[in-house]
Structure formats: C-alpha cells, structure tokens
Structure 1
Amino acid sequence: MSITQILFWILTVAALLSAIMVVSSKNPVHSVLWLVATFFAISGHYILLNAQFLAVVNIIVYAGAIMVLFLFVIMLMNLNKSAEPIKNRWLQIVGIVSGGCLLLVLVAALKNTEVAKNIAEVNTGDAGLIKTLGKELFTTFVVPFEISSILFLSAMVGAVVIGKKD
C-alpha cells in the first residue's frame, strides 16, 4: 500500500466522520465547525488528485468565507432551546421516510456503475494545475469568461443600486 492510498483512506474516513458529525451535532456552531473539517478533508482529496487550485479555492471560499457567513447568521439568529419550536412527531417520520427514499434512489442509480474501470489518475498529469486552467480559460473559454465577468459586474451594480438609500 502506497502513501497516496493511505492518505486517501485517512482523508476519506475524516471526511465521512466529520460529515456525520455535521448532521448529528445538536449545537449549530459545532455543526459549522465540523463542516469546516469536512471541507479540509475534501481539499486534501483535491490535492491527491493534483488539483491544487481547486483545493486552495475550496479552503478560501468555502471553509473561509462561507463558513464565516454561516457563523454570523447562526449567531445573529440567537438559537437556544427556549426559542426552538417543538417538532411534530409526524414531521420527523416524514423526514426519515423522505431521506430513506432519497437513499434508495441513490443506491438504485449507482447500482450498475463500474467502479473498477473508472480509476482516477492520482498525482499524475497536469489537468488540475493552475497553469493549465489559466491557459484553457484565456484561450478556449475567453468569451464565456468575459461574459460571466460582465454578468457579475452588472449584478454588483444592481445590488448597490437596490441597497442604496434615498
């Protein structure tokens, strides 16, 4: 067993355990912190796949900015046990049944997949490197890239206009 396989299994176990803790934690702040741990484990998988740019963007955008936003929202909502609405027993049963149906659909969709034939190339090639991504972005996909930048600029201008006080 190589070091890459060992790291893969360590990161996989860490990602699965922290994802389970996200769902099972009673405290919403603890759930957010476990979600940050999940994002770090997924970034480790990106590094193993030689996609360093995706790993860094995942850490900066998701584990950094989005999780800080979630923490601010949770703290502003001031969640506590006394203000929490009482959940109906039927609502819990409906949630369990719908989650089971989703699991059944996922298992049925993945039943006939061939995993042995689709082995990812680990730590080889240059598909995830920033140099390759930049070259593709500014040669092949330059027009969609520029159109999306104009779209983002117009969305920012619209947000400023809507949020501006009279």
Structure 2
Amino acid sequence: MSLFYFVAFLSVFFSLLVIFSKNPVHSVLYLILTFFTFTIHYFLLNAQFLGIVNFIVYMGAILVLFLYTLMLMNLNQETEPVKSNLLKVIGVIAGGCLLVTLIASLKVSGNSEMVILKDPNLGLVKNLGKVLFNQFLLPFEVSSILLFSAMVGAVLLAKKES
C-alpha cells in the first residue's frame, strides 16, 4: 500500500510541474512522467490492459507528437501575446472553483470504504482476450478488415501517379 501512495505523490508532483513549468518542452516531459505514474497505478490496480494501452497510446504516440510539435513551433518570449487582466481574473476564478471542487470531493470520499472486487482477475489481458476472441470474434475481424481497407485506400490516395 505504501508503493501506491508513493506513486500517487509522484503523480501529483509531476502534474504540478506540468502546470508550473515555464518551458513548454519541459512541461511535456513532465506530462510523460505523469502518464508513466498513471501506468504504474493501472498495474497496481490489476488493470494490465489499461496500463499497456496508456503506455503505448499516450506516452508513445500522443505525447511524442506534442513534443515534436512544440519543438517545431519555436516558441519565443517575443511572440507571446499579451494577456488582458480580465483573462487573468477568469483564470483565478476557474482555479478557485477547481480548488473548491477538490476540497469537496476529499470531504465526500473521506467517509467511504475500500472497494473489494468480487473477481480479482477482472482487468487481466488474458480474460479480455478470451472474451474478445470467443464472444466478439466476428466484430473484431470485421473491424480489422475495415481498418486494413482504410489503410490500403490511404496508401492508394497518397501514391503519386507514375
């Protein structure tokens, strides 16, 4: 249980670094670390499939795309638009509303008990594969054929006439 709290602390710490980092590239790198701690949480909660998908999709694809986009944008202090005082006041009000919501959620969750799953093998990839390839085999294969035909169509559309 102490590992869970340590990873939760790291999640909050890295997410705060995402918000308060001045450099956007560093902010994206901290966001990658935050999503990595989420992946660890998924594995600790016995949801291996969600952990693997989070690792591959978010950390491997989306955040790398963010990083390359930020590096190609060449953000400078001179090109930063000046923000009005009204926008700053709206930001403070939105942050206050978020703080009130977080405090209220902590007060509500303080009275709850720990949830114990009836089936401890609920989030395992093995069980998902059994359901996917037994009950949902036909829709799975139809969707794979649909994705394959879309990929072939995209290649044919992008191919230059010779």
TM range (shorter): 0.7 to 0.9
1:126 counterpart letter in structure 2: N
Matched, 1:140 2:127: no
The Cα of 1:105 is off from its aligned counterpart by 5.6
1:18-33 equivalence runs, <5 A = 18-33=14-29
Q: List runs of 5+ in structure 2 lacking aligned partners.
A: none
Query: 1:96 is paired with a residue of what secondary structure?
Result: helix
Matched, 1:100 2:93: no
Relative to the length of structure 1, the TM-score reads 0.77
Distance 1:31-1:129 versus aligned 2 partners, 3 A rule: same
Q: How far apart in 1 are the matches of 2:70 and 2:104?
A: 36
Q: List runs of 5+ in structure 1 lacking aligned partners.
A: none
Distance 1:112-1:11 versus aligned 2 partners, 3 A rule: closer
2:32 counterpart letter in structure 1: V
Q: How far apart in 2 are the matches of 1:164 and 1:111?
A: 59
Matched, 1:13 2:6: no
The Cα of 1:108 is off from its aligned counterpart by 6.1
The Cα of 1:129 is off from its aligned counterpart by 1.4
* Structure 2 residue aligned with 1:129: 124
- Among residues 77, 80, 93, which one is paired with 2:76 in the alignment? 80
Distance 1:109-1:47 versus aligned 2 partners, 3 A rule: closer
Distance 1:132-1:99 versus aligned 2 partners, 3 A rule: same
Q: How far apart in 2 are the matches of 1:45 and 1:159?
A: 37
1:137 counterpart letter in structure 2: L
Taking only aligned residues, the RMSD between alpha carbons, in angstroms, comes to 3.0
Distance 1:92-1:59 versus aligned 2 partners, 3 A rule: same
Percentage identity across paired residues of the two chains = 51
Q: How far apart in 2 are the matches of 1:150 and 1:93?
A: 52
Distance 1:116-1:109 versus aligned 2 partners, 3 A rule: closer
2:25 counterpart letter in structure 1: V
- Higher RCO (C-alpha 8 Å, min separation 6): 1
Matched, 1:42 2:38: yes
The Cα of 1:48 is off from its aligned counterpart by 0.7
Q: How far apart in 1 are the matches of 2:99 and 2:155?
A: 42
Q: How far apart in 1 are the matches of 2:88 and 2:6?
A: 33
The Cα of 1:93 is off from its aligned counterpart by 1.1
2:120 counterpart letter in structure 1: G
Aligned residue pairs: how many? 160
